C-alpha cells in the first residue's frame, strides 16, 4: 500500500472518531437539557396538589352550603306542618265551642216550643180560626222553620223501635197489637241539633 493511501485511510478514521465524539457530546447535552427541563417542570407538578386542594376546599364549602340549605328546608317544612296542625286544631276547637254554644241555646229555646205546642193543642176547634190563634200559629211555624234551618229537628218516636240513644222510656205497656220494644206514645218531643241529641224523647214503650 502506498504512502498516500495510508494517509487517506488515517484521515478518514480521524474524521470518523471526531464525528463519534461530536455525536456523543450532542447526546450528553440533549440528556442534560431534558434533565434540566424535568427539574424545571417539578414545581408545576407540585402545584397540582395545591390546585386539587383548593378545589377540594371549594367542594367542601359547597357541600356545607348544601347541608345548610337542606337543614333550613327541613326546618321550614316542620314549621309549615306545625302551623297547619295548629290551624286544624284551632278550627276544630272553634267548631266544638260553637257546637256547644249552639246546643245550649237550642236547649233553652225548646221549652218555648213546648209551650207553643201545648197552647195551640188546647185551643177549641171553634176558635182555631180566631185571628189571635192564627197569629200565634204563624209565630210557632216561623220559629220551627228557623230552628230547622239551623239544623234542629224532632226525633222520630211513635211507631219507631225504642232506641236508648234517642228515647227515654218513662212507661211500659203490654200491647199485642204492636211489636215488641216499639214506641206507642210520646209525652215530650225530643230534638237533635245536627248529629247531637239536645233532648231525648220521653216515651211509652210496648213490651
- Give the pLDDT confidence score for residue 31 in this predicted structure: 60
- Give the pLDDT confidence score for residue 6 in this predicted structure: 46
139 pLDDT more than 90: yes
Q: Per-residue pLDDT averaged across 105-131, rounded?
A: 93
pLDDT digits over 152-186, tens only? 999 999 999 999 999 999 999 988 888 889 999 99
Could you identify the residue written with the cell 221549652?
Answer: 111
Query: pTM score, two decimals?
Result: 0.55
Which range among 3-12, 140-149, 166-175 shows the weakest confidence by mean pLDDT? 3-12
**Distance between CA atoms of 177 and 142, rounded to whole angstroms?**
38
User: Which candidate, 110, 123, 119, 112, places its Cα nearest to that of 189?
Assistant: 110
**Distance between CA atoms of 186 and 155, rounded to whole angstroms?**
11
Q: Per-residue pLDDT averaged across 191-205, rounded?
A: 93
Confidence at 24, pLDDT banded by 50, 70, 90: low
**Beta-carbon contacts of residue 180 (< 8 Å; ≥ 6 apart):** 206, 207
pLDDT digits over 49-67, tens only? 544 554 555 555 558 888 8
Q: Which whole-number Å values give the CA distances from 55 to 46, 74, 120, 123, in the listed order?
A: 15, 28, 95, 100
Which range among 37-41, 75-79, 84-88 shows the weakest confidence by mean pLDDT? 37-41
Top pLDDT among 168 and 32 is at: 168
Amino acid at each position: 500500500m502506498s504512502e498516500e493511501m495510508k494517509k487517506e485511510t488515517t484521515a478518514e478514521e480521524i474524521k470518523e472518531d471526531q464525528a463519534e465524539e461530536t455525536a456523543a457530546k450532542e447526546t450528553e447535552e440533549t440528556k442534560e437539557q431534558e434533565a434540566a427541563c424535568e427539574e424545571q417542570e417539578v414545581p408545576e407538578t407540585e402545584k397540582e396538589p395545591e390546585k386539587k386542594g383548593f378545589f377540594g376546599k371549594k367542594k367542601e364549602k359547597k357541600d356545607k352550603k348544601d347541608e345548610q340549605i337542606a337543614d333550613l328546608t327541613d326546618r321550614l317544612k316542620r314549621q309549615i306542618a306545625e302551623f297547619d296542625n295548629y290551624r286544624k286544631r284551632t278550627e276544630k276547637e272553634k267548631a266544638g265551642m260553637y257546637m256547644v254554644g249552639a246546643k245550649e241555646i237550642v236547649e233553652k229555646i225548646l221549652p218555648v216550643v213546648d209551650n207553643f205546642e201545648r197552647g195551640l193543642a188546647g185551643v177549641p176547634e171553634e176558635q182555631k180560626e180566631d185571628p189571635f190563634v192564627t197569629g200565634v200559629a204563624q209565630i210557632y211555624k216561623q220559629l220551627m222553620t228557623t230552628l230547622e234551618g239551623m239544623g234542629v229537628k224532632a226525633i222520630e218516636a211513635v211507631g219507631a223501635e225504642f232506641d236508648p240513644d234517642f228515647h227515654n222510656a218513662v212507661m211500659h205497656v203490654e200491647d199485642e197489637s204492636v211489636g215488641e220494644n216499639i214506641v206507642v206514645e210520646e209525652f215530650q218531643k225530643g230534638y237533635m241539633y245536627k248529629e247531637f241529641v239536645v233532648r231525648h224523647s220521653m216515651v211509652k214503650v210496648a213490651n
